[in-house]
Amino acid sequence: MTADFDVISPYLGLRGRWVPAALHNHTVGSDSDPVPPARAAELARQAGIEVLGLTDHDRRLPELPWTERDWAAAQRVTGILVVRGHEATYPRLGDTREHVNCLAVLPDEVGVPPGVPGFPQAVGQAGGVAWLNHPGLWNCRPEQVLDTPAFDGLIGLEVYSGARLLLEGRTGTRGTLAVSLWDALLTARRRSWALASADCHAWEPGLPDWVANGQTVLNLETVDQPSVLDCLRRGIFYATTGPRIEVLEVTHRTYRVAAPWASEIRFLGAGGELLLAREGPEATYRFTGAERYVRAEVISRERVHADQPLVRHTAWLQPAFIHPRS
């Protein structure tokens, strides 16, 4: 029997391998010593990262001590692809100032100031991609994002930020996760992909903003900059704080996920409604056609050290959009 709906998913017909990426990091932190780009690349490579984004704040770029020779040295580190970019500062919205990650472009290549409608599109026209960084403070006020034209055209948002976890520990300010905001965008029929980042500043293993804590795992046939950018635009990746996906198959009937060490796999729909939960490392969801979208979360509980309690880690998989046939 033929389904009377279509399934649109970035995971249809995957052909590449899964490549761990850390795409939002800084060589100069607010209260730490600068880390040369080549040193940052070497530390990231040792942590298992294969694609590294170095996106210092736009306002700090004129102060960076690095020369073109320093950036060229980072490109020569073997086993890792380094992509430059910047973190654009938007004007204040209410009680917070938002940042947008701009990968593969620098400010003078964009031509439109941050916060002006058309900025994300200008980043794209300059050859880069842009997404919303650490927006968890908007979980309860998604209209601030939905109703701001300057956010139109972003490829997605960080559903997890390691630096915000560090900030929570210091100040009690919440905002590490932006999953509720993501669901609000998807429910409003905004195509938005989920990313995770460390937002590394200090380059110290063990800190919440360590470069490997919060990864965007890309499905790539070739590890080069054009392939990375194409993958990000199309949503062929997942976000994770730990779990690795072994099987990810989306067809026009089902959404199947398998992940070693997973304790639970959940499928969620519009508004974050739980559609199905299964204990164990594998689960399959069968589309009914009544869903607006279906996304998956993979949860594992691990001990960092034997004498510590179980810690919950999550992978967020991109939505499959359901379109009834007219």
- Given a cut of 60, whether residue 262 has pLDDT beyond it is yes
Mean pLDDT on 254-274: 96
- Can you give the pLDDT at residue 42? 98
Three-state SS annotation for 130-180: EEECCCHHHCCCCHHHHCCHHHCCCCEEEEEEHHHHHHHHHHCCCCCECHH
- Given a cut of 50, whether residue 30 has pLDDT beyond it is yes
- Can you give the pLDDT at residue 311? 53
DSSP of 31-61, one letter per residue? SS----HHHHHHHHHHTT-SEEEE--BGGGG
- Can you give the pLDDT at residue 178? 93
For residue 189, give the 3-state DSSP assignment.
coil
| Measured distance CA(260)–CA(281) in Å, rounded | 6
The candidate with the shortest Cα–Cα distance to 25, out of 34, 16, 12, is 34
- Can you give the pLDDT at residue 91? 84
pTM of the entire predicted model: 0.94
- Given a cut of 50, whether residue 164 has pLDDT beyond it is yes
| Measured distance CA(15)–CA(10) in Å, rounded | 12
**Superfamily for domain range 5-324:** Metal-dependent hydrolases (3.20.20.140)
Mean pLDDT on 75-97: 88
Q: Domain ranges in the chain?
A: 5-324
Mean pLDDT on 131-155: 91
- Can you give the pLDDT at residue 173? 47
Q: Phi/psi of residue 222, each to 5°?
A: -135, 135
